[in-house]
Amino acid sequence: MSDNAYAPDKILAHPETLKVLREGGHPYPLHLHLILSDLCNLDCGGCSYRMSGYPSSELFIDPKAAIPRNPNRMLETPLVESVLRDCAAMGTCAIEFTGGGEPTVHPDCSHLLDYAQNLDLDTALITNGILLPKIGAPAVRTQWLRISLDAATPETYARVRPGFGSVNHFERACKGVRWAVEERWSRGTEWGDTTDCTIGVGFVVQAENHHEIVDAAALAYALGADNIRISGLFTPRGDEYHAPFRKVAERRAVEVVAQFDGAPIDGRPPFRVFNRYGEKLSDLAAPPDYSRCSYQRVTTYLGADANLYRCCVTSYSKHGLLGNVRDAAGFKALWDRASTRAELECFDARSCERCQHNDKNRAINQAITPITHPFFV
């Protein structure tokens, strides 16, 4: 099993879940994507939830909202607390606070992170960083924290991550990274040791920013982050969207690995570059070539509309909808329903237009497939 943070074979660390799947059972998920808020303080053109024609905009956009692509829709705090208690009881140990919208816009984001952590749940936070300082200590008590930048200059940031009312938040986003690094250090000293929180920067390659891949890595390193994750924008046009700049972007991503992967950081492990651009583009080329979607059995997605979806790729779409935790009186109650189990078991992965989790699905499916003559290794 690889020690890479993005290794597709992490499922091998969970033999009990594999055993249940292998025997045709219905395991509780290990990992929950939790969307506190669909409201965002940025208006990114590359956001899949707000992108016309992308499946995840189907149930996300609210025609009755003041800004239909940015609905002021949030999970109520008592419901989230109930979901987190269910997670603790179910053994769903990893809670990823993400979007949807911007999680830190939720007025109780800090409290809910702290609530999950006090239940001994592993937590992660994906944020644009603009409001990060107001979250305080719970932000750096996470296992990992990723701030999405997608730019190395204010000009490019304004194009790919514009604010409502033409406000440019580039400096505030950078300050969010610096704040997290400093807060981790100061809290670590206060707690008697440095925290284990890994702080990363996200860079999603697109037409407007591919020329800044190298500079963005240099910026992430200078800000004190532990890593940068390079991936590609998913659009309804699939891999065709990337064709005009793909070769140049791939060369620049390789250059980033050569320049920055393994660069020293004082008091921390070396800087890492996770170049996922090329592999993610291959996921855009065609639908899955396998029928069994096992990933939906180990990682699931709760939207700010209180709907449970199969995964992030099918979120906010009828194709991914499993039910509503509010109507079911709880996350565990919904997962335990015979109808939910049936939905998961009869689902054909080939019905998806694309899948970002092909590598994980193949790894899980291989791990639960019976082996002929297993002792002959």
Q: Give the pLDDT band of residue 103 (cuts 50, 70, 90).
A: very high
**Domain final residue pick, 242, 263, 285:** 285
At 75, the amino acid letter reads: L
The verdict on residue 336 lying in a domain is yes
pLDDT cut 90: percent of the chain above it: 89
| 274 and 301 within one domain | no
Q: How buried is residue 280: exposed, middle or buried, by Cβ count under 10 Å (0-12/13-18/19+)?
A: buried
| 307 and 273 within one domain | no
DSSP helix/strand/coil, 369: coil
Residue appearing with tokens 């709760």: 302
- What is the DSSP annotation of 118-155? HTT-EEEEEE-STTGGGG-HHHHSSSEEEEE---SSHH
Residue appearing with tokens 């078991």: 345
Mean pLDDT for all residues in the chain: 95
**Domain final residue pick, 225, 254, 285:** 285
The verdict on residue 172 lying in a domain is yes
pTM beyond 0.85: yes
Is residue 269's pLDDT more than 70? Answer: yes
CA 184 – CA 94 distance, rounded (Å): 20
The verdict on residue 137 lying in a domain is no
Helices 77-90 and 109-118, packing angle to 10 deg: 20
Give the range of the structural domain holding residue 84, as residue numbers without chain letter.
Answer: 1-127+292-368
Return the CATH number at 112: 3.20.20
Higher-confidence position of 166 and 231: 231
The verdict on residue 374 lying in a domain is no
Residue 81 tokens read as: 């607390």
| 109 and 54 within one domain | yes
| 318 and 207 within one domain | no
| 249 and 199 within one domain | yes
Evaluated on CA atoms 75, 77, 83, 87, the torsion sign reads: positive
Per-residue model confidence as pLDDT tens digits over 144-187: 999 999 999 999 999 999 998 767 899 999 999 999 999 999 88
**Domain final residue pick, 285, 319, 336:** 285
